[in-house]
Amino acid sequence: MTYTQDDLLPLSGLQHILFCERQCALIHVEQAWAENRLTAEGRIMHDRVHEADRESRGDVRIEYAMPLRSLRLGLIAKADVVEFHRKRSHGEETGETWQPFPVEYKHGKPKKDNSDKVQLCAQAMCLEEMLDVEIPQGAVFYGKTRHRQDVVFDSELRLETEETANRFHSLVESGKTPKPVYAKRCDSCSLYEVCLPRTVERGRSINRYLLDAVREP
């Protein structure tokens, strides 16, 4: 399937839907958003990266906040960093090429799931479509560990990325917000007070919850 420009959704939604479908719907269907310490620190980190100027370091050229788009995945975004590594044929100046290498910046530490890898892979697939090149790998830099983790874009990760993009589009097109299912991860979600997972999960509607709250002395 090929999407049009009007169909494009934020690439960041892939991480939202992998974290929680309800959170994803609250953000991208109901347009709800709230910020906590974790999201604020992450936003500040991304803002600092995006404000940096283009630079060159020997055989590496670095682009910041590079616009991305894929009509195949139906996604749009800005890459934190795309490094372009110079590749020469037999050490000669002629015939040189620049190999894209996307780098995503995360405030925390590596996750147990593949959400960061899927987000980075989607960026690579956008670049491949835009530049007509093959990108075998990239990296995620984690602020908490100050460590860069290399990510190989193999067929399995690419398939997961494409399936996640399809799930994201299907959720947004449905216009429906899934019911909450409380899990430990809910405690760190910035939308906890909007979602109310413990309350709604017990079968009480939001309206009922608000009415009861007003009636309390």
Share of the chain above pLDDT 70, in %: 79
From 170, 136, 155, select the one nearest 1 (Cα to Cα).
Answer: 170
Q: In the chain, how many H helices and how many E strands?
A: 8, 7
> Is 90 exceeded by the pLDDT of residue 156?
yes
Token pair recorded at residue 132: 């007509």
Candidates 71, 148, 62; CA nearest to 109 is: 148
Distance in angstroms (rounded) separating the CA atoms of residues 176 and 198 = 20
Q: Which of 15-24, 39-48, 142-151, 193-202 has the lowest mean pLDDT?
A: 39-48
Q: Where are the domains of the chain?
A: 5-176, 179-217
pTM for the whole thing? Answer: 0.81
**Dist. CA 116–CA 151, nearest whole Å:** 10
**Residue 198: per-residue pLDDT:** 81
Over residues 53-58, mean pLDDT:
73
The CATH number assigned to the domain with range 5-176 reads: 3.90.320.10
